[in-house]
Structure 1
């Protein structure tokens, strides 16, 4: 299978997983309408999806660094969809939290291994990793459309239909896993060793920038539907449009990020994107009327230009722990911000939603300041994976560069 086809299938599979992260926010207006949840209550649902995911993703990253686990891609995809499908069936708030948390664990298990597989199949290409990330963005963008089509017509009782993308995504993983096995060989660990030292200090700074970016994205994802109704009117339709714009702009940003990184270095591209995001978030919070949607789109693009760049930067800062790097930079980017959502919801309940969202303007400022201190890493050279066959040891080139074991 060609690299393009492998990345395309992996990208579509990524969409079938991340649609469930977008689905949590998309269900918020329906939980409010059918179950009369307040801002704090719906923030708790977002938190349930985020907190286990935030904790579990580094754990899965560590496991991925120790053992290749490509089988986890279809399994985690189904788990992510099943949790969301069950969340609408019970009026019990604790059960809703449990099912949403189950979905979060599925999403957490998917991202570290998928980032490792994408790095192998893309052979270090920034553009290919950008297209892989686009899949997740398209999944987010499809979430409000899917939820509106299913739930708006028949209520939360139709939520089991939401499992269908997960079933499709799990099937799409299978040819990718066969291609990976052919590439690495049946007896290999599934990936190349690397030459290079970990830059833990830079990775910590990068991770903090990711956290601040995540707070903006998840905070807006949670409340943008409700906020749009206040800023432009139009009821739930206005909210669905705002959420779709927030998510679809991410696809544009991810493609642009990979292309821009081929012309300028990744740190510079990310730094300028965060400067754009500062003004865009301010416009989203304070500018009313139709221009609101334009600022939402600019916010999304600004947040997602560095999205795939975070992943490759993290993997280059931690060349010996690419699974952990992928779990933190790819997974936590869209989950850990949920930890701040209950605080935003509580402030909104006590004051107003605009007052609660205003501090989000500070988050891209902090990410920009951190990127001003980061170096552009040199991509490490992969060492070919080795598999034992009888008395002979076969070396297989799995990256774009080759360095023989034990030699220079």
Structure 2
């Protein structure tokens, strides 16, 4: 009785199974792509991040002109970088905790406005103390923006490192645009030209105020999981070291071209532009690499490539050929950038604002705190001495990267 009833069934079932592999293939090892609406939000947050970090990029872009126009020493000039770093680093952990605990939807646009107005006014005042305080205020605006924006961007990006790299690359674009937009104005008008950069912050703040946050269900899904503090602290160490190398290079690269390679200000501005353009490319490339090879390997790759790139930049003679290595150095240092932001939020899924505040803000800004020490080195040995030191800076990041684990692995 069982034989006749079972015989017709084998020929009937083979047709449905071929349809099954198509859906399963899209959910294999690679993260699923965010929906189209999420990509729109990522572009908006990437644009906002670009405007915000424009004001961080304007600080090193303006430093040489404060030296030339106001007669600041190397130490005084690096103190301006210190002011921006202090303003953005000290408050960020507390702001990140507040963002995770309370609904602070208007914090990001408010931070944008403060960052732009503070930096824009800094070139209009004469006393050094007033300049320093205004740049400190601008850094505080950056501290207000990053945790809130980083949390919102992660909610829109989901599990895609490529999508998160759009947000992170926005910051690199802001740094890139700073010398491109500022150098012609600063050359023509002096440091008072910073006033022209107040309107972008105000306009972008209005755009963010009109933005609707993502659904609560998305926020709840993004916060699921167990917080893992030990790998997060290791990751923070990597981010601090990467930031130290980045801020050291971005602060002194123009002076390296002017004082050591004996070029003019225009070619020195091109060197900074190449370095920051490499940073944009490296940030986007890092997200692509992470979606294919994994986030930890991408962080390790960035540390591995940064050392030879910096050595080549330091030792290559001439004024034009080193521009290539300025580009490659920016690329290598920024390959891990977006990955550090996403990996930090994966380690602390219950505290995305805190994680963003540390990886985007505190760790990055602490790197700027070494500026006075590098300024003292430049005072004693010239800008070339700074780049000699920077050749060794990425080594600790490479070592720390060996202790990182993927988020789904055990401690």
| Structure 1 residues 379 and 19: CA distance shift in structure 2, 3 A | farther
Q: Distance in 2 between matches of 1:351 and 1:297?
A: 24
Q: Distance in 1 between matches of 2:101 and 2:409?
A: 21
Q: Could you give the per-residue CA deviations for residues 367-400 of structure 1, whole angstroms, max 9, x where no partner exists?
A: 01001111111299xxxxxxxxxxxxxxxxxxxx
Which residue is equivalent to 1:169?
204
SS in 2 for 1:263: helix
Aligned mate of 1:218, from 229, 247, 250: 247
SS in 1 for 2:287: helix
Which residue is equivalent to 2:183?
148
Q: Distance in 2 between matches of 1:158 and 1:254?
A: 29
Aligned mate of 2:370, from 340, 355, 358: 340
Which residue is equivalent to 2:326?
296
Which residue is equivalent to 1:276?
305
Aligned mate of 1:310, from 340, 351, 366: 340
Say whether residues 1:77 and 2:107 are aligned partners. no
Give the Å deviation of 1:167.
1.8
8 Å CA contact retained: 1:231, 1:288 = no
Give the Å deviation of 1:279.
0.5
Which residue is equivalent to 1:244?
273
Which residue is equivalent to 1:321?
351
Query: Which segment is superposed worse, 44-53 or 288-297?
Result: 288-297
Which residue is equivalent to 1:3?
38
For residues 368-407 of structure 1, what are the structure 2 equivalents within 5 Å?
Answer: 368-378=398-408
8 Å CA contact retained: 1:280, 1:299 = yes
For residues 198-213 of structure 1, what are the structure 2 equivalents within 5 Å?
Answer: 198-213=227-242
Deviating above 6 A after TM superposition, structure 1's stretches of 4 or more consecutive aligned residues are none
Q: Distance in 1 between matches of 2:314 and 2:393?
A: 13
Which residue is equivalent to 1:286?
315
| Structure 1 residues 374 and 353: CA distance shift in structure 2, 3 A | same
SS in 2 for 1:15: helix
8 Å CA contact retained: 1:15, 1:139 = yes
Aligned positions, number: 374
SS in 2 for 1:91: coil
SS in 2 for 1:320: coil
Query: Which segment is superposed worse, 16-25 or 317-326?
Result: 317-326
- Normalising by structure 2, report the TM-score: 0.87
- Normalising by structure 1, report the TM-score: 0.88
Query: Which segment is superposed worse, 75-84 or 291-300?
Result: 291-300
Which residues of structure 2 form unaligned runs of 5+? 1-35
Q: Distance in 2 between matches of 1:368 and 1:251?
A: 21
Q: CA RMSD in A?
A: 1.8
Between Structure 1 and Structure 2, whose CA radius of gyration is higher?
Answer: 2
Aligned mate of 2:216, from 160, 179, 184: 184
Which residue is equivalent to 1:158?
193
Give the Å deviation of 1:25.
0.3
Give the Å deviation of 1:233.
3.3
Give the Å deviation of 1:322.
1.2
Which residue is equivalent to 1:361?
391
Q: Distance in 2 between matches of 1:332 and 1:146?
A: 27
Q: Could you give the per-residue CA deviations for residues 98-117 of structure 1, whole angstroms, max 9, x where no partner exists?
A: 00000000001100111100
8 Å CA contact retained: 2:275, 2:329 = yes
Which residues of structure 1 form unaligned runs of 5+? 381-408
8 Å CA contact retained: 1:29, 1:236 = no
Which residue is equivalent to 1:393?
none
Which residue is equivalent to 2:289?
260
Which residue is equivalent to 1:388?
none
Give the Å deviation of 1:337.
1.3
Q: Could you give the per-residue CA deviations for residues 256-283 of structure 1, whole angstroms, max 9, x where no partner exists?
A: 1111111111101111121110101112
Give the Å deviation of 1:155.
1.9
Q: Could you give the per-residue CA deviations for residues 5-41 of structure 1, whole angstroms, max 9, x where no partner exists?
A: 1111111111010000000000011101110111101
